[in-house]
Structure 1
């Protein structure tokens, strides 16, 4: 008679739901470490994109700030002295009307896209005569025949051609300004004879190229700006939001109308070329448009990665409930493998997003991950129907995250409602489990 081998009694921790839940929780916490590594990889790729963008801006042209014009009029400080020194009157325009028509393009550098643009900017307006009484200057001191009109853009290499300036109906060709008396760091100037009376009208056109931003300086008593672009997702910069703005299928547009009461510059002053180069004052008077991607690929991947813990938690809970309902134990090592597959998912998402865009990358990565986990679950449970149900649950989870990522303004609302429904579903299915029998 063959002796039967006695079965080893189960140890206290074997078959314990509490112990298994504790270990599963530890596995989830351990998976947070590689999840943070994925975020580090995303940040590194995003930094690389930023560096590429800086390189393209340096080669193409950077963000543009349209500044000016300013009227600069020399005068004799001591009119009766033979060796009288020369001072300068700085005068800002009464009215400035700017119209900017901007066309964008994506400059591809490797796997990265950088937004660049070309723009036609028309500037027109007029100056009043300087108020010599307030300045304490006699008309005989003013050197009207040596007046200068100066204007500037922040990146001079962005000029596509030499602008033509018209003053009082006469055409002039500007030249680069030099010397310590200029009000802008980089400026162009026109020398002309200023009439002693009457309004001084001007206009000029700028053909520019730039990248990322186009901004304007509030410099007139009245400043009007009209912006038109084929870019559909502008973000408005500075202290002044546009009075009207609209977005159509063809692009976007905006209009500003500003008075000088909030302008941080005086209308006229003497002998101080730093008024218009003060960084704080420029920041207060600058407004414009940033050509912002609605949500770029890296921002979307970053937002998706933030839901990694939630997806892993919901997946493990669903798998654990399936295990209890079917009374087929799944080894903790298999939980770890499924968690590893869900972490690798984000590497796939990032790499494919750089090549084919976020939406297609999400579809490819999610399909591959759901298929892998489902086939693995089918082999563990020996039940294709249960694996199909689990695949359906995973599809709902990943579809839920995709919808949240696409919705910027309503993502919190939709996410809260969906999470409530998920928790309610888990509560419903968990009621069928006799927890005391395990």
Structure 2
């Protein structure tokens, strides 16, 4: 083979569109590896954030679940057993009748605040929760209990709170117009793990009303247990992005930039608890039943910065692909070759962009971090392209293209629910533009 033919062969190898496009495709796939590493780093940082939120919750007060109230009435019952001599012996034992409210009305006002712990933010709140309702007299005939066996003077009204540390003061309980001060409930017959109780004399064969207010603090969530035969709950808050927990969505809700209002009206038909029962403290303690009867609000961030960054990194392959395709088409249209090593450097800059975004967002927030990281990356790649092509106009055009790409991704992240729709439309437009500009390239000359 002559020296001229060898040189021609080498030139064909270097200038082949097919070979170069295949190598660029392989390069894009290789750049997926550091992208996966970065996603793992984001997940780790998000885990650190959750650890710090849990630490704040432990020191301030955790998410709150308000249980009850439940009326506990002791009664006497005679039990006959057979001793070792086969003689029947009758003795008296004390058992407990549990009764749930006939009507239960709860109104909660929640005031939220950010609690900064290091570089992380947690959502904590102060809340005043007003609770009132009524109890009907127990149906003793249904339970087979004599009225004479009831110990009316030993009745207790018990209510639970998942984190008693959140109580800011001792609540005052009003029962039939009489004021009582509750005490911590410590008893193996309690229907809750943690609770407060009031001892009072139950009106014989009468219904009665009650009311009390809880001044408490908590973090992230405020939940309730559907224990009334009818349960009405209203929540007002200054938080503008609520999520609703449990099996019961609010009947009405209004959400604005200044806060939200939500109302529930629940009947006992879907409640997993009976209205009254005897001697079984586990009914309100069962995880399955509690899960079915729990409802409330979660004070969630609209999209926290780590979720936004993670969503942004999922578009990294698309950004790198579109950037390389744009650069490759520019190279072919202008007939100026760019070495593959320079493609690698540009790809590395676009990967490092996500570490910049992550580190900046922890300090100044996602939006400003996105602007700073995007501007830095676009300027760097544009200046590098200008030095490669010796053409400032082409580099400026390339900067505009990158700005459109990064701006498009930012808009997609902000849209949340509509991101798929707008993303699909934009990708269709991009493909159409690539088809249009690719017509100017003579693919058969290489």
| TM-score, L = length of structure 1 | 0.97
Runs of 5+ in structure 2 lacking a partner? 81-88
Which residue is 1:202 aligned to? 210
CA distance in 2, matches of 1:24, 1:269: 73
Runs of 5+ in structure 1 lacking a partner? none
Deviation string, structure 1 residues 202-250 (Cα, Å, up to 9, x no partner): 0000011111100000000000000000000000000000000001232
Which residue is 2:252 aligned to? 244
Q: Contact conserved, 1:93 with 1:220, CA < 8 A, in 2?
A: yes
Is 1:117 aligned with 2:125? yes
Which residue is 2:45 aligned to? 45
Which residue is 2:375 aligned to? 367
Q: Contact conserved, 2:124 with 2:220, CA < 8 A, in 1?
A: yes
CA distance in 1, matches of 2:296, 2:18: 59
Give the deviation of 1:167 after TM superposition.
0.3
CA distance in 1, matches of 2:52, 2:264: 33
Q: Contact conserved, 2:119 with 2:362, CA < 8 A, in 1?
A: yes
Give the deviation of 1:10 after TM superposition.
3.5
Deviation string, structure 1 residues 334-389 (Cα, Å, up to 9, x no partner): 00000000000000000111111111010000000000000000000000000000
Which residue is 1:349 aligned to? 357
Give the deviation of 1:434 after TM superposition.
1.1
Which residue is 1:289 aligned to? 297
CA distance in 1, matches of 2:50, 2:361: 16
Q: Contact conserved, 2:79 with 2:91, CA < 8 A, in 1?
A: no
CA distance in 2, matches of 1:15, 1:305: 33
Deviation string, structure 1 residues 245-296 (Cα, Å, up to 9, x no partner): 0012321110000000000000000011111001100000000000011111
Deviation string, structure 1 residues 309-351 (Cα, Å, up to 9, x no partner): 0000000000000000000000000000000000000000001
Which residue is 1:71 aligned to? 71
**2:417 alignment partner, SS class:** coil
Is 1:279 aligned with 2:305? no
CA distance in 1, matches of 2:275, 2:415: 46
Please list every run of at least 4 consecutive aligned residues from structure 1 whose deviation after the TM superposition is greater than 4 angstroms.
Answer: 79-83
Which residue is 1:393 aligned to? 401
Q: Contact conserved, 1:234 with 1:289, CA < 8 A, in 2?
A: yes
Deviation string, structure 1 residues 83-104 (Cα, Å, up to 9, x no partner): 5110110000000000010000
CA distance in 2, matches of 1:424, 1:388: 22
Which residue is 1:340 aligned to? 348
**1:78 alignment partner, SS class:** strand
**1:129 alignment partner, SS class:** coil
CA distance in 2, matches of 1:295, 1:260: 36
CA distance in 1, matches of 2:79, 2:31: 82
Which residue is 2:232 aligned to? 224
Q: CA RMSD in A?
A: 1.4
CA distance in 1, matches of 2:256, 2:49: 29
| TM-score, L = length of structure 2 | 0.96
Which residue is 1:105 aligned to? 113
CA distance in 1, matches of 2:14, 2:205: 100
Q: Contact conserved, 1:95 with 1:126, CA < 8 A, in 2?
A: yes
Q: Contact conserved, 1:148 with 1:192, CA < 8 A, in 2?
A: yes
Which residue is 1:257 aligned to? 265
Aligned length: 434
**1:98 alignment partner, SS class:** strand
Which of the residues 296, 305, 309 maps onto 1:301?
Answer: 309
Which residue is 1:377 aligned to? 385
The farther-off stretch of 382-391 and 11-20 is 11-20
Is 1:62 aligned with 2:48? no
Give the deviation of 1:79 after TM superposition.
9.5
Q: Contact conserved, 2:346 with 2:381, CA < 8 A, in 1?
A: yes
**1:58 alignment partner, SS class:** helix
CA distance in 2, matches of 1:187, 1:385: 73
Q: Contact conserved, 1:79 with 1:141, CA < 8 A, in 2?
A: no
Q: Contact conserved, 2:229 with 2:275, CA < 8 A, in 1?
A: yes
Deviation string, structure 1 residues 118-172 (Cα, Å, up to 9, x no partner): 1000000000000000010111000001100000111111111100000000000
The farther-off stretch of 25-34 and 80-89 is 80-89
Which residue is 1:31 aligned to? 31
Deviation string, structure 1 residues 390-409 (Cα, Å, up to 9, x no partner): 00000110011001000011
Which residue is 1:15 aligned to? 15
Is 1:133 aligned with 2:126? no
Give the deviation of 1:179 after TM superposition.
1.6
CA distance in 1, matches of 2:153, 2:44: 58
Which residue is 2:163 aligned to? 155
